[in-house]
Structure 1
């Protein structure tokens, strides 16, 4: 079958001017903002051996991987759907002897096996940071501050954070609300789907009150403490309260204890990030997420970590990163030194190649040694 010229696979797209420049600009701004907090950048490869991507994070699964056979090694490779596992591999191998906590940042393209209704794109620009060696309240608070600074640097307004407790069911199932191990996944999925009827059918009605515990942080914590008669969640709720106290008042903070989708490898805390554009445009869906997790070392021992990832494509789509053009047209015979000086001042120069060239898409023209508005 002949493929039409210019046709791309489903979920992949070209970025044209000025969005391509905006994407690069946003990536730079966010990476710089993260770096100001002491996070050093690493650049892992686009593809790795499949087992490296799957086995590095505890509880991660072989899903969403686009696989290819490496002709050099005859082994299965996978294109990265997320960069967190790669940073984890670097932390425990190449940088395994570096002092902890280890602060690393990253940015690049990732590719998903399938698109979703919320994210029709399969290739995404991802940028983030990982703090390896701790999952303490202080570590989570720092990561959240870094994420908020990164979003502000990108131009996001009205930022909100939705906290969750990914291991809620596992914690309660081992204590005050016992569930057989083979039913934990079912109850967890029903809570995640907010399926009250399903919980009744599954004879897990004791978990129903947690569906109504979500909301603004203060009220949610109060409702959860009322439900936690045996104090099984006390340490987590106290930690969440301490983290919330470090977040600025202009950030809307909520807690949904039963949210699980997308937090499959997070441990005691996770968070999603939302926001608006500079003109109040609501960004569709979450623009980032993070939380605590566990990295598995080659010798089998485990190390705590916390981090976040941001997706820049929704920001580019609403116009963030686009700057007003300052493009000056250089007629034939222009002075090269003058043109170089203009570029040094931040101008973009477009030089004529023939007498028929016109100043298309330029805002100025070089006349008598000065850029004049067109």
Structure 2
């Protein structure tokens, strides 16, 4: 027989296949996040994979517009886009499909978006997002809910050493506007502030025809980072009403976060420039030890739904699931998510009993597969090991009597005989049974 040569089937750069082990871990992480969202009363929406480009673009900032994949639609003759962010889709749905529903909307979602990335960056073009949007509440309490849910979800995933950085676009926007800095210089300055590059900030300001007071305010932005004491320092720096209102808003949110009991995980970064073209108020990002990028981000965006004809205050945030996976992949609980419970290895000619036992085990909540391919004991045990199955249950053969099954621990091959009647009893547990190994 002539051997078959495997075909080459490369993928475009920036996308990948997620095989069962990794897909199970992603599902585990998404499930943990979704549980927190549901406990806070959020309801799931599934958004479409495609949108008309002009519709989705109305809700995107310039940066995301530049990263959006577009192509011609043969049916409509219009330009179609693969969404680069789910939040604008939620805004469209709320403004159109949910327009007659009472506010507020508590919406959660989980899905993939696609973004252009620099080929040399090595970054994925696929982003797995799990997030929430709270639409219809202009309240510090709504902002506090978002931050608290982020903290609870990170704790639920097993993180302990993490921080949520709080910022406010109103604070930095107020200082920038009051300074009178020209647009080109303002963009340069924002980039330098975002990198906390104090020397670059000084260099830009030195070439700007601003008052000394304005330069002092702008120069202070990179160092306004730390605990709650930052608000006092910022209050001494900022003189415009917009920035002062922003500080009052942060203070109100922090008071509520004290009540929620999550203040130990908070830092304040008033020099954060992310989202200046998208958000309108409090913003935040979540960081875990060992990860250089944020695992979650969000904030208030009170003008987004208005772009679709339905003005409503809103806040929300999203988790980057693949970033969480990178941080969590080797944790025991995440590793365990890729395992299955039992492989049925039937050595009898009659398959009825094997099928009945498998059915009973599934009723008891155990994931159970049957090794339908005929092979010997060692080969079946090796298959179970490679498939991350924890135990193999042998029916028939020399390992057990006619009224018994032989339950093997796949990791080390150790086994024990269990009465079939016990398998069918209500008290059966994989962790119970005789301790004697044979």
Give the Å deviation of 1:105: 0.6
Q: Which residue in the other structure is 1:242 paired with?
A: 252
2:15–2:126: 8 Å Cα contact kept in structure 1?
Answer: yes
Residues 57 and 284 of structure 1: is their aligned pair in 2 closer, same or farther, counting only changes over 3 Å? Answer: closer
Q: Which residue in the other structure is 2:277 paired with?
A: 264
- Structure 2: distance between partners of 1:182 and 1:18: 48
Is residue 351 from structure 1 mapped to residue 374 from structure 2 by the alignment? no
- Structure 2: distance between partners of 1:266 and 1:9: 33
Residues 182 and 354 of structure 1: is their aligned pair in 2 closer, same or farther, counting only changes over 3 Å? Answer: closer
Q: What are the Cα deviations for residues 311-342 of structure 1, in whole angstroms up to 9, with x where unaligned?
A: 11122233253325423342244521111112
3-state secondary structure, aligned to 1:302: coil
Give the Å deviation of 1:59: 7.6
Residues 86 and 22 of structure 1: is their aligned pair in 2 closer, same or farther, counting only changes over 3 Å? Answer: same
Is residue 253 from structure 1 mapped to residue 234 from structure 2 by the alignment? no
Q: Under a length normalisation based on structure 1, what TM-score does the superposition of the two structures give?
A: 0.87
Q: Determine which structure has greater relative contact order: mean sequence separation of CA pairs < 8 Å that are 6+ residues apart, divided by chain length.
A: 1
1:82–1:110: 8 Å Cα contact kept in structure 2?
Answer: yes
Q: Which residue in the other structure is 1:279 paired with?
A: none
Of 149-158 and 94-103, deviating more is 149-158
Give the Å deviation of 1:6: 3.5
Q: What are the Cα deviations for residues 218-270 of structure 1, in whole angstroms up to 9, with x where unaligned?
A: 23112101112455422211221221233335633222212213553011221
Is residue 314 from structure 1 mapped to residue 358 from structure 2 by the alignment? no
1:162–1:255: 8 Å Cα contact kept in structure 2?
Answer: yes
Q: Higher Cα Rg: structure 1 or 2?
A: 2
Q: What are the Cα deviations for residues 14-71 of structure 1, in whole angstroms up to 9, with x where unaligned?
A: 1123111111122122112101111111001011011121103688862210112111
- Structure 1: distance between partners of 2:310 and 2:184: 26
Give the Å deviation of 1:348: 3.0
Of 112-121 and 151-160, deviating more is 112-121
- Structure 1: distance between partners of 2:256 and 2:247: 15
Query: By percentage of residues, which structure has more helix?
Result: 2
2:171–2:244: 8 Å Cα contact kept in structure 1?
Answer: no
Residues 174 and 349 of structure 1: is their aligned pair in 2 closer, same or farther, counting only changes over 3 Å? Answer: closer
Q: What are the Cα deviations for residues 201-228 of structure 1, in whole angstroms up to 9, with x where unaligned?
A: 33453311222222x2223112101112
Residues 123 and 173 of structure 1: is their aligned pair in 2 closer, same or farther, counting only changes over 3 Å? Answer: closer
- Structure 1: distance between partners of 2:96 and 2:248: 34
Q: Which residue in the other structure is 2:208 paired with?
A: 202
The 5 A counterparts of 1:108-257 are 108-114=111-117, 120-175=123-178, 177-180=179-182, 184-193=186-195, 194=197, 195-196=200-201, 197-203=203-209, 205-206=215-216, 207-214=218-225, 216-229=226-239, 232-247=242-257, 248-249=261-262, 251-257=264-270
Q: What are the Cα deviations for residues 288-309 of structure 1, in whole angstroms up to 9, with x where unaligned?
A: 1000112244674632210001
1:105–1:128: 8 Å Cα contact kept in structure 2?
Answer: yes
2:356 paired residue among 337, 353, 357: 337
- Structure 2: distance between partners of 1:224 and 1:299: 36
Is residue 289 from structure 1 mapped to residue 297 from structure 2 by the alignment? yes
Give the Å deviation of 1:91: 0.8
1:110–1:123: 8 Å Cα contact kept in structure 2?
Answer: yes
Q: Under a length normalisation based on structure 2, what TM-score does the superposition of the two structures give?
A: 0.76
**How many residues are paired up?**
365
- Structure 2: distance between partners of 1:272 and 1:116: 26
3-state secondary structure, aligned to 1:163: strand
3-state secondary structure, aligned to 2:137: coil
Give structure 2 stretches of 5+ with no counterpart. Answer: 1-6, 395-403, 414-438
Q: CA RMSD in A?
A: 2.7
- Structure 1: distance between partners of 2:208 and 2:119: 28
- Structure 2: distance between partners of 1:298 and 1:254: 32
3-state secondary structure, aligned to 2:281: strand
1:19–1:322: 8 Å Cα contact kept in structure 2?
Answer: no
3-state secondary structure, aligned to 2:152: helix
Q: Which residue in the other structure is 2:432 paired with?
A: none
Residues 237 and 117 of structure 1: is their aligned pair in 2 closer, same or farther, counting only changes over 3 Å? Answer: farther
Give structure 1 stretches of 5+ with no counterpart. Answer: 277-281
- Structure 1: distance between partners of 2:155 and 2:146: 14
Q: Which residue in the other structure is 1:51 paired with?
A: 54
1:287–1:311: 8 Å Cα contact kept in structure 2?
Answer: yes
Residues 242 and 120 of structure 1: is their aligned pair in 2 closer, same or farther, counting only changes over 3 Å? Answer: same
- Structure 2: distance between partners of 1:152 and 1:31: 13
Is residue 372 from structure 1 mapped to residue 387 from structure 2 by the alignment? no
